Structure 1
C-alpha cells in the first residue's frame, strides 16, 4: 500500500485517539472548507496540496458533523463511516475499534466450498433480523451469505444500487456495530459473508461530489447513470480502494462482489483493487473477489478475481425453462440447447460471439476452472427486473425446475440462490425505492417504460399496472416467507450430496465437455481433482432421450431404473477414480 502523504489523505473522518479526529476532504473546486459540528462549532480546514482540506478536531466517536463549502453549502462527508439519519443529514464519527469481536480467529472458507445465498437486508428487517436466519441457512447447506449493497441511499428502502455514501452502512438497517455483530454471528455458524459493492456510479439523490470535486467524474464518458467516474485520478482510485479495504479489514467481510464492472472504463483500477486486497489481507485468510461483468472478460479471472456471476448460465436456462425470449433473452433464443452445452463445457456462452446488438461480447473461457463461474437460476436482478417480480417456480413446471436445481447445486460451478428460492416463496421480489417529488415520478415512469419491448406490456394500460417502486406496499410485498416444505428438503438433500461428493474434490477440477442429446437435453462431464468423473445429464424437453450412465448414480429426478432420460429429468453420476467413460 502506498505511504500516505499530504497528497494522499485517507478520505473522511479518521479517529486518532478516543478524543481526537482528523477530517480530510478532497474538494479541488472549493476555496474554503470547514467542519461544522452539530452544536454550532465551526472549524476551518487547512488547504493542502492537490485540492485537499484537512484539520484535527477534539471530538469523540458519535460526534455529528458535516462539511461547509465556501460558506454556501452544507454537505455530508462523502466518506462518512455512518449517517445519523439520511444522505442529506449529519455524518457520524465512528470508532472502528469499538466493536469487540467474538470470533476474531475466523479465517474464512476456501472458495471451492462456496454455496452462496443472496439476500436483501432491508426486506428481511435489518441487520439484527438477518441474524435470525443464520442457523436455518447453515443447516440448509449454505456456506456464505451475500448482502445486497449497504451504502447509504436516499430514504429508508432501496435495492441498494442508488447508494451515494459508499463508506456508511445504511442507517435504516441498524448501526455499524449491529452489522459487525451480524458478520460475527455468521462466522460463528461457519458462514462467510460477502458484500455487493457499487463502484461504477452514484445514485441520483444525495451525491454532492460534483459540486466541489467535478474532477471525480468524466463528463465525456457516459454510463446508464450519468457521467463516468474518473478512475485515472489517484484521489478517486483511493476513495474506492480504501472503501474495499474498510469492508474487508474493519468489518471482516469475507468477500466482495463488484457490481457491473463493464461500466468501469479502467481495467487497471480493477487489477489494482485485487492486488491491494491480496497485499493487505493477512496471510492464510480466505477473501473472495467476484465480478458482475457483461463483457465476459475471462482474462480478469485468471489471477485477479475468483469468479464472475455467469449470467449466460441463467439466461439460457431461463429460455429453456420458460420459453421467454423477450429483450436480453433473445440472445439465447436461437439453438439454446447448444448454448447450454457450451456453457457447461466452457463456462461462458458468449466468448467473442455477436449479440443481438451486433457487438462481439466475451473472451474464450474454456481454460478456466468451473469454480471461476457463479451459477444461478435467478437472483435479485432476474426476479426484480420482471415487471411483476415473479419467481421462477411460477413460470415453469415443478419437474423441470427440480431438474434444473439439481444441475445448479451439483455442478462444479459455484452455486448461488436468492432468498426464498429454497422454499419456492410465493411472494414476489419487486423493484422498490423511496424517492420523492420529481425524481419519484421519473423513476416510476422510467420503470414502466423499461417494459415497452416486452410483448406482455406493449399496451400502455398494462404498463400502468406495474407496481410503483416508491409505494410502501411494493417494498412490504417483497419479504418472502420461509415455511419449511418439500423444496427446502430438496435443497438440503442436494447440498448434502454436494458437500459429501463434490466439494472436497473441486480443487483441480476441469470440464471435459458437453454434448447435445436432443432438443433441450444435454450431457456434461467434469474431471474432479481426485481423478473421479462427474456427469450430469439434463433433459428439459418433452421427449425421452437415450443417454448411457457412466457410473454410480448419486441423484436422479424423477427416480427411474430406465437408461433413458425421461422428459424434465436430471441424472447425476460419479465415476470412481480410474473409471473413465
Structure 2
C-alpha cells in the first residue's frame, strides 16, 4: 500500500493511502452525517469537536460520494475536488499527485516581466483548446495567462463568478488532470498561469452550506449576493485559504487574482491568506497575489499583495476615448486630463477623494511602485457588463485606441489584455449563465434593470434587446475569433501593432523596470498628458499621449531615443511645430546624463 501525504486541512476527501480516504465535513448545524457512495453503501461519520464530522474508510481514487445530512438531505462535498455530473452529480475522490509533471523545476517569473492575457476557458472550448493558443500567445509576447474562475457552478455555461464548489474545476472544461496539463504546457512555453478566485460569495445555485453550516455566514451583514461570509471564523477562513493553497501547490499555478476583496469585510483574513501563501510556497518560487478592490486600499499592496487591478486607470482612459459619462464613468468626466496625469504618476486616481455619491474612496498610493498596478483598456467586467458587450475598438476612433494601447503596453504598470483584444475580435463578450425557472427570469430582469442608469442606452435600445444571459446563443456569440483572416487588413494591422509594442516592451522596458519610479506627469492640454519615469539604469522613460481630436503642445526631450511614434509623420510635427498630433502617442527613452 503506497503512503500518500496527509494534508493538514480538514475540509474535503483526502487519500490517506491508495485505497483509503478520510472524509471531513464541517456541519455544526447537523445532528447526523453519513458518506453515501454511488454504489449505495452508507458510511456513518463520527462527530468531533467544533462541528466536524469525520470518516475514514476504504475508498480509492475515483470513488463517487455525497454527504447525507440528518438522514434526509444529500449534498455534494463543499470541498469536492471534482464532480461527476455537475452540481447535482457525485463528488469524486481524486489523487492530487497522479499527474506526471513535465516541467517540475519551473519556478515562475519575476512580476515585472508580467504581460497578462485574461481569458475564459469555456468560450475558448476547454483546457485542451486553450492549450492550443499558448504558442501563439508566447510568440506575441504574453508572459502570463489569467484564467477567469474555474470553480464548479450550476449548469454548463457561466462567467465563472457564480461558483458553488470552489475546489472542483468545472466539469465541462475538462478533468483536473487536463487543467494540470494546461498549466504544465504553459510553463514549458515560459508562461505563468494566474487563476481568478472568488472568496466573497457563492453562486445562487448549488451552495448547500446554509442548510447545515449556517455559521459560515453572517446574516446581519448584507452583500449584493446575500448574507456576508464570516471569514474570521477559523473553519471558514481555512476553507478559503486551503483553496488558495490547492491552486498554488497541487496545480502549480503561479498566482491568484482575488475577486472584489472590497466585499470581504475582514482585512485580517486577507493578510492571513497572504502570509500563509508565503509560508507554504518555496522561497525560490515566484508566486504572485493580485486583487480587485474598489476601495483602493493601498496598504494591502505594501506587504501582503503584489498588485491591484487599476480600475481607475481603465475608467479614465475609457472616458477619454469614448466620451461616456454615465454611471461610474461620471466620476471621471470632469478634470479628466488631470485625473489621467494622477493615475500615471501616483497609481490610483481616488486616494481619499469623494466620488459622485459623496463617499470618500481610496488611500494614498504615490509611494507604491508602478508594478503594483495592473493597467488595462478592456477586461471581462468592462466589456461583459455592457448591455451589448461591445469591445473598445467598436466604441472609439482607431487612432485614439492605438495611442492608448501604446500607453498601456509601454508604461511601467503591468499590462493586461483581454482575449481577442490583440486582434480586434469583432464578437462581443456578453454576460452569460445557464439557469432555469424563476432564477433565470430574475437574472434576466435584473440584467436589464442594471442599465437604467445608462440613459443613452435606454433611450436608444429597448430593454428587450438586452441579450438573455441564459440563452445558448448569448454564450455562442461570445466566442471570439482570435486569429484574423488573411484578407482582414484592419485586424491584421491591429495584431501587428500589438506585436510591435510588445517587442518594444521586452527589449526596452522590462529590462529597466525593477526599481523604476515616477518622476511625475503633466497635462499638455485637454485629453493630452505627458509622464516620466526614472528607470533602473537611470534613463528616463517619456510617454506623451494625446487622446483628443486637437493638437497638443509638446516638445520632445533632448538627447532621447525614440521608441515609438503613432505615425511616421509625427516626428515632423514635433520638430517643426512642437505639437503632439491628435490621437497620437510618442514614447522615448532619454539617455543617461554623462
TM-score range with shorter-chain normalisation? over 0.9
**Aligned partner of residue 232 in structure 1, secondary structure:** coil
Match of 1:558 among 524, 549, 567: 567
Offset at residue 90 of structure 1 (A)? 0.6
**Would you say the 8 A contact 2:419–2:482 is kept in 1?**
no
Offset at residue 133 of structure 1 (A)? 0.2
Deviation above 4 Å: which 4+ runs of structure 1? none
Offset at residue 310 of structure 1 (A)? 0.0
Q: What is the rounded CA distance, in whole Å, between the counterparts of 1:165 and 1:460 in structure 2?
A: 40
2:12 is aligned to 12
**Would you say the 8 A contact 1:9–1:24 is kept in 2?**
no
**Aligned partner of residue 360 in structure 1, secondary structure:** coil
CA deviation profile, 1:110-142 (whole Å, cap 9, x unmatched): 000000000000000000110010000000000
1:543 is aligned to 550
1:575 is aligned to 590
1:68 is aligned to 68
**Would you say the 8 A contact 1:523–1:537 is kept in 2?**
yes
Offset at residue 577 of structure 1 (A)? 2.3
CA deviation profile, 1:460-491 (whole Å, cap 9, x unmatched): 97111100000000000001112241111111
TM-score (norm 1): 0.98
Q: What is the rounded CA distance, in whole Å, between the counterparts of 1:336 and 1:456 in structure 2?
A: 20
- Give unpaired runs (5+ residues) of structure 1: none
1:289 is aligned to 289
Asked if residue 523 in structure 1 is aligned to residue 518 in structure 2, the reply is no
Cα RMSD (Å): 1.4
- Give unpaired runs (5+ residues) of structure 2: 485-491
Asked if residue 196 in structure 1 is aligned to residue 196 in structure 2, the reply is yes
**Would you say the 8 A contact 2:320–2:547 is kept in 1?**
yes
Offset at residue 576 of structure 1 (A)? 2.0
1:424 is aligned to 424
**Would you say the 8 A contact 2:19–2:59 is kept in 1?**
yes
**Would you say the 8 A contact 2:551–2:580 is kept in 1?**
yes
Match of 1:492 among 489, 499, 502: 499
Q: What is the rounded CA distance, in whole Å, between the counterparts of 2:10 and 2:591 in structure 1?
A: 55
2:521 is aligned to 514
Offset at residue 42 of structure 1 (A)? 0.2
Q: What is the rounded CA distance, in whole Å, between the counterparts of 1:178 and 1:578 in structure 2?
A: 53
CA deviation profile, 1:15-53 (whole Å, cap 9, x unmatched): 111100000000000000000000100000000000000
CA deviation profile, 1:476-527 (whole Å, cap 9, x unmatched): 0001112241111111110010011010111101011100000100000000
Offset at residue 538 of structure 1 (A)? 0.5
1:276 is aligned to 276
Offset at residue 542 of structure 1 (A)? 1.7
Q: What is the rounded CA distance, in whole Å, between the counterparts of 1:141 and 1:170 in structure 2?
A: 29
**Would you say the 8 A contact 1:320–1:540 is kept in 2?**
yes
Q: What is the rounded CA distance, in whole Å, between the counterparts of 1:354 and 1:85 in structure 2?
A: 48
Q: What is the rounded CA distance, in whole Å, between the counterparts of 2:114 and 2:519 in structure 1?
A: 22
**Would you say the 8 A contact 1:457–1:463 is kept in 2?**
no
**Would you say the 8 A contact 1:22–1:54 is kept in 2?**
yes
Q: What is the rounded CA distance, in whole Å, between the counterparts of 1:158 and 1:38 in structure 2?
A: 27
Aligned pairs (5 A) from 1:281-430: 281-430=281-430
TM-score (norm 2): 0.96
2:452 is aligned to 452
Aligned pairs (5 A) from 1:138-157: 138-157=138-157
Q: What is the rounded CA distance, in whole Å, between the counterparts of 1:288 and 1:578 in structure 2?
A: 35
**Would you say the 8 A contact 2:34–2:67 is kept in 1?**
yes
